[in-house]
Structure 1
Amino acid sequence: MPLAPVNGLSLYYEARGRGSPLVLVHGFACGLRIWDAQVRAFAARHRVLTYDVRGHGLSDAPADAAAYSQPISVDDLRGLLAHLGIRRAVVGGLSMGGNIALNFAIAYPTTVRALIVADTGAGSDGTAEWQAGARALAGILDRDGIEAFADAAQENPLFARYAARGPEATRFIRSCLMTHRARGLAHTAREVLARRPTVYSLEAELRRLRVPTLLIVGEHDLPCAAVHRFMAETIPGARHLVLRGVGHLTPLEAPAAFNAAVRRFLR
C-alpha cells in the first residue's frame, strides 16, 4: 500500500500513468475514488496522482483536533509532492480539495504549472449557516458514527443530486463515505470546513495569481455559483465553465464534459 510520510503522518496515494504530473485533490468525505474517471482519462498522457487527504480514507486520522486546518492540508500537499520528487505539476481540486489547490497555488505558484478549481467556495456566502452545518455534521459523526453520517450526507445538497440518480449512484456515494473514520471527518468538518477563510477574503492574492486557471462549476451548485463568478473576474486570464444540468460533483456527475474541458485547457 503506497504511503508517504508527510508532516508526521502517513498519506495514502495512488499514481497512475506517465508524463507530466497531474495532481487531483478530493472534496470533504469523498476520498480519492471520486477521481476514478479522470485517472482513466488522463493516465495515458500524465502521471496522475490522487491521495486521501489527512483524516480521510486510508490516510492517517490524527486524534488531536489541532492537527487539522486548511493551511496544514496545503502543507501536506507540498510535502507529498516533495516526497515523490514532483517539482512542478498541474494541480486540481474538487470542493474542499479545490480550496486546498487554490491556496496551494497562492502559496507555491512556481510549483503549479496550471490550476483546476471545481465546485469550490461553499461557505463563502452564508458563512454562519455553513459553519453551523459543518459543526452539525461533526456532531453526527461524534454521536452516531460513520454509518449515520453516511445516511445523513446523502440528503445533503452537495451529494443529493448525484445520489438521486438511483441505486448505483447511492451505493457509490455510500461506499466512498464508509471508507472514512468518524474521528477524521469530524475534525475536518470543525477545523477545516468551519474555520477556513472565505474565497472572497483572498481577493488580493487572487489578483496577483499568474497561474493558468480553469474554473468548473455545476449549474445547480448554488453554494458555489457566485464564488466561481468572483474567481473568474478576479484571477487574471481564468477560464470559467458552467456545466449544465450538473450539481456539486462535476467530475463524477458529468465526467465526459469535465474531462473534455480539462483536456482542452491542458493543450
Structure 2
Amino acid sequence: MQTLRVNGYDMAYLDIGSGHGPPLVCVHGSLCDFRIWSAILGPLTQRRRVVAVSLRHFFPEHWDGVGDTYSIAQHVQDVTAFIEQLADEPVDLMGHSRGGHISFRVAQRRGDLLRRLVLAEPGGELDASLDPEYKAGPSPLAAMIAAAAEKIAAGDVDGGLELFMDGLEGHGAWKRFPATTKQLLRDNATTLIGQTRDQRPPFSRADAESIKVPTLLIGGANTKGTIPKVLHALAAHIPHARAEMIPGTTHPMFEQAPQRYCEIVLDFLAS
C-alpha cells in the first residue's frame, strides 16, 4: 500500500502490474475500499498497470462519521487531483457503483485527464430529463441508506449492514456473505453515515451528453431495482457508449464473474 497527499489528505492506493498502456485507475463503491478489486487484479495486471484507490474516509482510515468532508463533490475533487499527480498522460478510469458516479463526474469535468471510462453499474438517480417517472424528493435508495446509517450510528453495525445489503441484493444476502466480505463492509460501515449527507446530484440528459470520453457501461444481468435503469439511460445518451451485461450476475458482477468481466474490460481498453 502507498499513499499520495491529495487535497490535504493521504489517499491510500495499491499500484500493481506494469503492462502496456496508461494506468487503469479503479474507484470502489459504497462500503468498500481498494481491496474490493482483489478478484480481478490477477487477470487485469497481466496486461495493465492497475492503481486501486481508497476514497477519503474509507479503509485503511477508520472514520468516526463526523464532519462534512465526506461527499460526492469531495471525492470527485480527490480523484481528479490524484490522477493529476499520478500520471503525465491521460489514464483509463474505472468506477463501480458510487465509484462509478464519481468517475462519471470526473469525466464530465476533466475529460482531458482520461483516455477511456468504464462505469460498472454507476450509482445514483435519474432526473426528469432521463426518467419520465421521476418524482421529486428522497428516493427509496436514499431512504434505505438513511435507515441503515441510523442503525450503524446507534452501534448496531451488523444490523445496519444487513438492512443495506439485503435491500440491494435481496433478502438474506448479508447472511450469505463470507466472513471476509462482511469484515470489509464493517471496516467501512461509518461511511454510510456520511452518505446520508451526500447531496448527490441526479444524472441528467445534459450530463450524459457532455461525456466525450469513450465509455463502457457494464452490469449484472440479474441486478434488481433502479440500478439497471440508470445504466441503460446513461448508455443511451453518452455519445458512442457501449453497454455489456454479464449473465447470471448482480451488482458485484466483477466478483461473481471475474474472468468474463476482465475480458470485456480489457477488450474495451484495447479498442
Residue 227 (structure 1) aligns with: 230
Q: How does 1:140-151 map to 2 (within 5 A)?
A: 140-151=151-162
* Structure 1 gap ranges (5+): none
* Structure 2 gap ranges (5+): 127-133
The answer to whether the 8 A contact 1:6-1:79 is kept is: yes
Q: How does 1:4-153 map to 2 (within 5 A)?
A: 4-18=4-18, 19=20, 20-59=22-61, 61=63, 64-124=66-126, 127-153=138-164
Q: How does 1:107-256 map to 2 (within 5 A)?
A: 107-124=109-126, 127-158=138-169, 166=176, 169-180=177-188, 182=190, 184-187=191-194, 189-192=195-198, 195-199=199-203, 201=204, 203-222=205-224, 223-256=226-259
The answer to whether the 8 A contact 1:116-1:213 is kept is: yes
Matched, 1:266 2:269: yes
Residue type of the alignment partner of 1:8: G
Residue type of the alignment partner of 2:87: G
Secondary structure in 2 matching 1:116: strand
Bigger helix share: 1
C-alpha spacing 1:59/1:85, structure 2 compared with 1 (3 Å): farther
Report the alpha carbon displacement of residue 15 of structure 1 after superposing the two structures with TM: 0.4
The answer to whether the 8 A contact 2:95-2:102 is kept is: yes
C-alpha spacing 1:162/1:80, structure 2 compared with 1 (3 Å): farther
The answer to whether the 8 A contact 1:117-1:216 is kept is: yes
Secondary structure in 2 matching 1:65: coil
Mean CA deviation greater in 120-129 or 64-73 = 120-129
The answer to whether the 8 A contact 1:163-1:173 is kept is: no
In structure 2, C-alpha distance between the alignment counterparts of 1:111 and 1:236, rounded to whole Å: 18
In structure 2, C-alpha distance between the alignment counterparts of 1:101 and 1:160, rounded to whole Å: 29
In structure 1, C-alpha distance between the alignment counterparts of 2:16 and 2:247, rounded to whole Å: 30
Report the alpha carbon displacement of residue 96 of structure 1 after superposing the two structures with TM: 0.3
Q: Deviations over 1:92-114 (max 9, x none)?
A: 11100000111110011011100
Secondary structure in 1 matching 2:231: helix
Residue type of the alignment partner of 2:238: I
The answer to whether the 8 A contact 1:213-1:237 is kept is: yes
